Amino acid sequence: MVFVQGGGLAPWLDGAIATLAGGARVVALIDAPGTTRLPSRTEAVFGR
């Protein structure tokens, strides 16, 4: 079983996962129940 961010956040991993874990179940965490999507941040310091 492989857990990935999903949603196109790390597209360079797609080939690696297919090669290293071809028969594994891949779970995209972005699609997991309870996941909250936040807007993109542009500031260098968050929460100030």
Residue 4 burial by Cβ neighbours in a 10 Å radius (0-12, 13-18, 19+): middle
pTM check: above 0.75: no
> pLDDT tens, 1-48?
888 888 777 888 878 888 887 788 888 888 889 988 888 777 777 665
pLDDT digits (tens, 9 = 90+) for 36-47: 888 877 777 766
Q: Which residues of 16-47 are buried (b: 16+ CB within 10 A; e: fewer)?
A: eeeeeeeeeeeeeeeeeeeeeeeeeeeeeeee
The alpha carbon dihedral of 12, 14, 29, 1 has a sign of negative
